[in-house]
A and B are shown apart, each in its own frame.
Chain A
Amino acid sequence: MVVLTIYFLWDAVFQNNPVVAGYTRDKILTYVFLTLVLRSVILGQRSIDAAGEIASGKLTNYLVKPLNYHLYWFTRDLADKLLNIIFVVFETIALYFILRPPIFLQSDPLTLVGFTVAVAAAILLNFILGNISSNFSFWMPGNAWGFWFLYLVFQDFLGGVMYPLDIFPQTIQKIIMLLPFPYLLFFPANVYLGKISAPDYFWGLTVVLFWLTFCLFTVKKIWLAGVKDYQAEGR
């Protein structure tokens, strides 16, 4: 439903203007469609359940096994994404035939490689950011959802879920691009659309790499502290 709303909204905007915020009608509609697919691949995740497992004490089962709890959730996330992709393919095909939007197909192989890398980085980033939220469960059992909610709001407004971020003024855009959120959806989508120059692309990857390292370090710290405080209660 959200997709349709966003779609018709942008469709209406382009009735009178040929170019808005550097986007033509084709490209914005492709953006909407692309983010629909990318969302299911990048943002769809199961690891939100980890918060519940930590709170309920189910973590105990994993903690006594020779198993990396984070990697375990990462693989479950990937499995979940696979399932999402299957559904989203049908959904997209159906929507395509209903709406018949003009779709921009990227044909440059180098751009497609860059796009794949950006998507992989986004998947990792999203996983780790979500993981940080889940780990708060160690201290606030049952309330880690609050952090998830906050994270999802950031995703929506700063990640480019609702709109491409170029509609913001330049200065604000520059600040936003230093945060991790635009690299979840907005950045990969724009790489696909060919809107990112080579230097911008590598600068973007550097920012992602910084956040990945920073978050990995943080999540490890939080996890170690959490496991130390964990009392394995519950039945």
Chain B
Amino acid sequence: MSVISVKHLSKYYQVHQKEPGLGGSIKSLFVRKYYDVKAVDDVSFNIEEGELVGFIGPNGAGKTTTLKTLSGLLYPTKGEVTVLGYTPWKRQAEFQKQFALVMGQKNQLWWDLPAIESFVLNKEIYEVPDERYKQMLSDLSDMLQVKDLLKIQVRKLSLGERMKMELIAALIHCPKVLFLDEPTIGLDVVAQKKMRDFIKAYNQKYQSTIILTSHYMDDVKELCQRVIIIDKGKKLFDGKLEDIIKKYADHKMLSAVLDTELTPKQLEKLTLLGGVKEYSYPKLILQVQRENSNEAAAKLLKSYPVADLNIEEPQIEDIIREVFTGKDVA
């Protein structure tokens, strides 16, 4: 049985529109204009034990809404959801003791106390046995290299250090299922990398099932075998990251280094081979049809002063951007 099973999940919100100003406020007491927002619209997927799945989509795509439903914070409008066999929004203690939700933009640590106090509080809330608590705390603080920071007031820590502490607080009960909502947001490149390494190591060490949302493609590329792409509440893609390229990219990139500058005439002729993505001497990037790429490369080599040539797959970021900006993908 899947650890997480989502069938035809839909979540609609009714949002009320208010005119600006006091007049609008009074008017809204009598006449209220509502419109429905389909935050999540008929999404289905299954996730097996130990999987690390990336959830990507632009702002407002429905990622967080889905995670909140899986965490039991929201009641769905339609559909069935089970996590570890439980219905999340019943919020049974047995279920809650086995999962954790970490939101990069929301903190649970007590601001004025050292992080370790929050850990002790969570230990009591989750009823973690003493031995297990000590073990987890020492493991996690080792992995994140924060042993010396545990007894420092949270407000004195940097954002990166605080995020690490947030993770420890969330993982102290060793959850089987973990939802990470943009855990790397606002962190610098080094801290992002460390955070990724940790998530990977944690996933392997404890065989926990993880769903990760992020705006940073690096997070997803490095961590997730499988990605689910959603946009405007609909699931667009569910599968291996590499398959996105096969599915959506109908082109390849010819990236060439030239010996001499091209004349305007030569440049014009280039458009017969494909689209010029970038030209700043000596660099030339040409976008060509996938099936014509070899032929185009040969022609390029033959008729142009090419010193070096590479045939490249397009960047995942570019493809995803194209998917999101509505280039017809269906």
Contact = CB atoms under 8 A, between A and B. Distances in A.
Interface stretch (A15-23, A61-69, A130-138): A61-69
B91 A63 contact: yes
B97 A57 contact: no
B5 to A, nearest CB: 19
Nearest to B64: A232
Nearest to B185: A235
A61 B125 contact: no
A109 interface: no
A234 B96 CA distance: 22
A225 to B, nearest CB: 11
B13 interface: yes
- Interface secondary structure of B, over-half rule: loop
Interface stretch (B70-78, B151-159, B294-302): B70-78
A64 B96 contact: yes
Contacts of A231: 13, 74
Contacts of B101: 60, 64
* Chain A CB within 10 A, most for which of B97, B101, B126: B101
A60 B72 contact: no
Interface string B240-274: 00000000000000000000000000000000000
A137 to B, nearest CB: 16
Nearest to A234: B106
Given A67-B125, A232-B73, A61 B68 contact: no
A201 interface: no
Chain A contact-residue range equals 10 to 19
A122 to B, nearest CB: 29
B105 interface: yes
Contacts of A230: 73-74
Contacts of A66: 93, 96-97, 125-127
A10 B87 CA distance: 61
Chain B contact-residue range equals 20 to 34
B310 interface: no
A232 B74 contact: yes
A162 to B, nearest CB: 34
Nearest to B96: A66
Interface string A130-151: 0000000000000000000000
* Chain B CB within 10 A, most for which of A60, A64, A232: A64
Contacts of B145: none
B315 interface: no
B128 to A, nearest CB: 11
Contacts of B125: 65-67
Given A60-B106, A235-B105, A65 B126 contact: yes
A65 B285 CA distance: 52
Given A61-B106, A235-B105, 19 more contacts: A57-B106, A58-B106, A60-B68, A60-B73, A60-B103, A60-B106, A63-B72, A63-B73, A63-B91, A64-B96, A64-B101, A65-B126, A66-B96, A66-B127, A231-B13, A231-B74, A232-B68, A232-B74, A235-B106
Interface of A: 57-58, 60-61, 63-67, 228, 230-232, 234-235
24 contacts: A60-B68, A60-B73, A60-B106, A61-B106, A63-B72, A63-B73, A63-B91, A64-B71, A64-B99, A65-B96, A65-B122, A66-B93, A66-B97, A66-B125, A66-B126, A66-B127, A67-B125, A228-B75, A230-B73, A231-B74, A232-B74, A234-B106, A235-B105, A235-B106
